[in-house]
């Protein structure tokens, strides 16, 4: 159990991620952000719970749905807004877009090829192990990714070489329009980890404190050099696969309502109320977070687009300087 | 100068780079205990230990991704893909990730990884173990593609590849491993994008890569007896391409033949021919001729694999044809 102050911090981060996402959703609906934007609303407890325990020198690999992980790892909301909008000032200077960017100062990477992060995270972990550093490599991916070859190859490699890699599967119940039970033959994705000799666990990914506790245990094992950890976070995405997808063709409004009842923000808020925070304090907090993020969005909307000349910057290191 | 095989040049250069820089390591299937299929890393496990000579599971994607990830954080891996045919499984990691990170990080991230592999015919390994797939990679912005044809070039280019902060694909040839040549001693490096004239001549320029350089040289010897003087140029790096060397040569000889083991269609041979046409149109007496592998899977049946890729006689015929 975290203390009050810690829960308040986690809640604030949850609010940042939610409002950031909802503003992006509006921008997507206005065609200012493209379909490559994949909403994170509903899954925030996973990014916040995991990343709040990471150090700056720990490395995160994420997916086509990276904004929550990136901000929780330390990326500025301004820079991520700019990247979403394809503007200069973005984490990848408006070249990467809504699902692929690198924020080197915060050791954050993401990419839009499903499942591809697991081997690369193993490689980062291998470097840390060779250098006798206690940093860890964290890799987020979805339920759908657990059917790729890279998932299995990467986890096997990390397991046989006991690499400090933390594998976080966000089971949000769908891979695009496909429900997970139709493409995964086991009831819990964490079962897949056991075939690599890992002690896979499944955690309530809507409960930020549950995520936090599971991550704390994992980090202890990882930093002690005891090999990789696999955690399935059971969660749900509240919005479509991409902003504005025809979601009601593949899932019912009733199903969405059931999960929305378990909104990670409401859950955390209820706990804060029970611990003595007033409705007014929490409302004020939310209003100020929202206003700040709106300000960041407005700032981002003022930034220039990259030029054609900049489109070919850094394709490779010039010969002679490499 | 020391005379050695292409295979030994790989082993010696790798060992020297491993000794020079602690961050260099070799990862691949059976690079350790077996010392590579051809012996190109024999003995290295004993000298450097399993952390630096890493026997990988049969997981080309994981091995390649692992190399890339470690390169992001201070290591300088040499990742060996046993046969280029298996690189299909590693392609996502290489092309979508390893080669993209420098640009996506706005130049802040470097990916100093060498992908070493081997292709081509020579062991009757048939169609899933004998391909020439270099053309795919020349089309990838940001990737350096190297095909050394001699022990000396292998040594100088492998050393440059290990020291480069750009990702480099170095493609060896299974028919070259036991060819021999002089290798300069000391810290010998060859810059990327510099072609080498393997034989100077006046009547025709033959541009050839990898094992085809040896075929072109054989053809040039035969043609010399007929009074035809061939210049044989090996670009050594398919990309970056030393265009100027090709142009300078063809402006003198006014005739050009391009030779690759890979099929012609959609390939680097067309790129080389275009460079020559674009820059030497006025000087050329005949259109550039291409001599390339047949558009087929490499067949198994007795010596049939040699029948579907160019040899000295194909090249000789093409040269006589452009000079006719
Ligand atoms: C290798 C690959 N195949 C297909 C796609 C198209 N695609 C993008 S997201 C997605 C679903 C991924 O599902 P999951 O891993 O559960 O992640 P989620 O979208 O639910 O976060 C698919 C199929 C892709 N980007 N990469
Ligand atoms: Mg999913």
Report the complex ipTM.
0.97
The answer to whether position A190 is within a domain reads no
The answer to whether position A30 is within a domain reads yes
Distance B213 CA to ligand 1 centre (A): 45
Predicted pLDDT at A2? 54
The answer to whether position A322 is within a domain reads no
DSSP A106: G
CATH number, domain of A76, equals 3.40.50.970
Distance B176 CA to ligand 1 centre (A): 42
Least Cα distance to B279 among B250, B236, B238, B239 occurs for B250
**Percent of chain B at pLDDT exceeding 90:** 99
Predicted pLDDT at A1? 46
Q: Please list, in sequence order, all residues whose beta carbon lies within 8 angstroms of the beta carbon of residue A175, skipping any fewer than 6 positions away.
A: A114, A142, A143, A144, A183
B2-183 and B196-323: identical CATH topology: yes
Predicted pLDDT at B70? 98
Location of structure tokens 């850094």:
A314
A146 φ/ψ angles, rounded to the nearest 5 degrees: -70, 0
Which atom of ligand 1 is nearest to A143's Cα? Answer: 16
CB contact under 8 A, A118 and B66: no
User: Of the bound ligands, which one is closest to the alpha carbon of residue A150?
Assistant: 1
Predicted pLDDT at B302? 85
Number of domains within chain A? 1
Tell me which chain B residues have a C-beta less than 8 angstroms from the C-beta of A131.
Answer: 73-74
The answer to whether position A230 is within a domain reads yes
CA–CA dist A90, A298 (Å, integer) = 14
- Let me know if B168 is exposed, middle or buried by CB neighbors in 10 A (0-12, 13-18, 19+): buried
Low-confidence ranges of chain A (pLDDT < 70): 1-2
Helix (H, G, I), strand (E, B) or coil at B101: helix
- Chain B interface mutation, best of A82, A153, A159, A311, highest count of B Cβ atoms under 10 Å: A153
Q: How far apart are the first and last CA of chain B?
A: 41
The answer to whether position A174 is within a domain reads no
CB contact under 8 A, B66 and A157: yes
The answer to whether position A212 is within a domain reads yes
CA–CA dist A175, A146 (Å, integer) = 10
- Let me know if B247 is exposed, middle or buried by CB neighbors in 10 A (0-12, 13-18, 19+): middle
The answer to whether position A304 is within a domain reads no
Ligand 1: residue of A46, A144, A235 to mutate (most ligand atoms within 8 A of CB) is A144
Helix (H, G, I), strand (E, B) or coil at A282: helix
Helix (H, G, I), strand (E, B) or coil at A47: helix
CA–CA dist B292, B263 (Å, integer) = 5
User: Per-residue pLDDT for chain B (324 aa), expressed as one digit of tens each?
Assistant: 899 999 999 999 999 999 999 999 999 999 999 999 999 999 999 999 999 999 999 999 999 999 999 999 999 999 999 999 999 999 999 999 999 999 999 999 999 999 999 999 999 999 999 999 999 999 999 999 999 999 999 999 999 999 999 999 999 999 999 999 999 999 999 999 999 999 999 999 999 999 999 999 999 999 999 999 999 999 999 999 999 999 999 999 999 999 999 999 999 999 999 999 999 999 999 999 999 999 999 999 988 999 999 999 999 999 999 999
- Let me know if A74 is exposed, middle or buried by CB neighbors in 10 A (0-12, 13-18, 19+): middle
CA–CA dist B117, B112 (Å, integer) = 16
Distance A142 CA to ligand 1 centre (A): 8
CA B56 from centroid of its chain's CA atoms: 23
Predicted pLDDT at A301? 98
Chain B contact present for A293, CB below 8 A? no
Which residue intervals of B226-303 are DSSP H helices? 243-253, 268-280
**Residue A121 is nearest to which of B69, B101, B166, comparing CB atoms?**
B69
Predicted pLDDT at B303? 85
Domain residue ranges in chain B: 2-183, 196-323
Residues A157 and B57: beta-carbon distance below 8 Å: yes
Compare all CA atoms of chain A with the CA of B98 and give the residue at the minimum distance. A120
Location of structure tokens 């399993």:
B50
Which residues of B are part of the catalytic machinery?
Answer: 129
Question: Options 3.40.50.300, 3.40.1190.20, 3.40.50.920, 2.40.50.140; which CATH number does B196-323 get?
Answer: 3.40.50.920
Least Cα distance to B100 among B141, B66, B145 occurs for B141
CA–CA dist B260, B276 (Å, integer) = 16
The answer to whether position A201 is within a domain reads no
Q: Which domain holds residue A139?
A: 4-169+207-298
**Residue A322 is nearest to which of B61, B141, B165, comparing CB atoms?**
B165
CATH of domain B2-183: 3.40.50.970
Which atom of ligand 1 is nearest to A171's Cα? Answer: 16
CA–CA dist A304, A23 (Å, integer) = 19
CA–CA dist B119, B133 (Å, integer) = 7
Helix (H, G, I), strand (E, B) or coil at A311: helix
């Amino acid at each position: 159990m975290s203390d009050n102050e810690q829960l308040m911090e986690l809640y604030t981060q949850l609010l940042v991620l939610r409002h950031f996402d909802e503003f992006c959703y509006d921008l997507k609906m206005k065609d200012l952000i493209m379909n490559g934007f994949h909403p994170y609303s509903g899954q925030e407890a996973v990014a916040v719970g995991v990343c709040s325990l990471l150090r700056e020198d720990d490395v995160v690999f994420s997916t086509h749905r990276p904004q929550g992980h990136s901000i929780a790892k330390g990326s500025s909301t301004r820079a991520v807004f700019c990247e979403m909008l394809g503007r200069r000032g973005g984490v990848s200077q408006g070249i990467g877009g809504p699902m692929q960017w690198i924020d080197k100062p915060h050791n954050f990477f993401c990419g839009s090829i499903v499942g591809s992060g697991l081997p690369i995270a193993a490689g980062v972990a291998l470097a840390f192990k060779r250098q006798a550093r206690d940093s860890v490599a964290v890799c987020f991916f979805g339920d759908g990714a657990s059917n790729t070859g890279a998932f299995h190859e990467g986890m096997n490699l990390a397991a046989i070489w006991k690499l400090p890699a933390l594998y976080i599967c966000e089971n949000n119940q769908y891979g695009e329009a496909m429900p997970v039970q139709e493409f995964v033959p086991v009831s819990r994705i964490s079962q897949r980890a056991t075939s690599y000799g890992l002690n896979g666990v499944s955690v309530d990914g809507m409960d930020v404190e549950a995520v936090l506790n599971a991550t704390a245990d994992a980090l202890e094992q990882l930093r002690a050099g005891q090999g990789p950890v696999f955690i399935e976070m059971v969660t749900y995405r509240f919005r479509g696969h991409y902003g504005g997808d025809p979601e009601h063709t593949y899932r019912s409004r009733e199903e969405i309502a059931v999960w929305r009842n378990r909104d990670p923000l409401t859950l955390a808020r209820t706990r804060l109320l029970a611990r003595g925070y007033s409705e007014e304090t929490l409302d004020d907090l939310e209003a100020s977070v929202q206003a700040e993020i709106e300000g960041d969005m407005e700032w981002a909307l003022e930034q220039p687009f990259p030029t054609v000349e900049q489109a070919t910057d850094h394709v490779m290191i010039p010969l002679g300087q490499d | 100068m020391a005379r050695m095989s292409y295979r030994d040049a790989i082993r010696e250069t790798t060992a020297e780079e491993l000794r020079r820089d602690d961050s260099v390591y070799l990862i691949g299937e059976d690079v350790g205990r077996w010392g590579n299929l051809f012996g190109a890393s024999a003995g290295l496990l004993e000298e450097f230990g399993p952390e630096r000579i890493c026997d990988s599971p049969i997981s080309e994607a994981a091995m390649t991704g692992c190399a890339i990830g470690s390169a992001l954080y201070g290591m300088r891996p040499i990742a060996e893909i046993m046969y280029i045919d298996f690189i299909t499984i590693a392609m996502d990691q290489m092309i979508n990730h390893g080669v993209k990170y420098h640009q996506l990080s706005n130049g802040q991230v470097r990916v100093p990884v060498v992908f070493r592999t081997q292709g081509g015919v020579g062991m009757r390994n048939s169609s899933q173990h004998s391909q020439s797939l270099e053309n795919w990679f020349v089309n990838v912005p940001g990737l350096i593609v190297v095909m050394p044809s001699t022990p000396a070039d292998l040594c100088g280019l492998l050393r440059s590849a290990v020291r480069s902060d750009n990702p480099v694909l170095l493609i060896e040839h299974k028919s070259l491993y036991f060819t021999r040549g002089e290798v300069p001693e000391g810290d010998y490096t060859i810059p990327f994008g510099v072609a080498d004239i393997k034989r100077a001549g006046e009547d025709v320029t033959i541009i050839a890569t990898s094992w085809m350089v040896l075929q072109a040289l054989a053809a040039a010897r035969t043609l010399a007896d007929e009074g035809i003087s061939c210049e044989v140029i090996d670009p050594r790096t398919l990309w970056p391409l030393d265009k100027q060397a090709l142009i300078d040569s063809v402006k003198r000889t006014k005739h050009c033949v391009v030779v690759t083991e890979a099929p012609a269609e959609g390939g680097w041979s067309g790129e080389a021919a275009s460079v020559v046409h674009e820059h030497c149109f006025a000087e050329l007496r005949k259109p550039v001729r291409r001599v390339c592998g047949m558009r087929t899977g490499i067949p198994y049946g007795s010596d049939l694999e040699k029948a579907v890729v160019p040899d000295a006689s194909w090249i000789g015929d093409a040269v006589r044809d452009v000079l006719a």
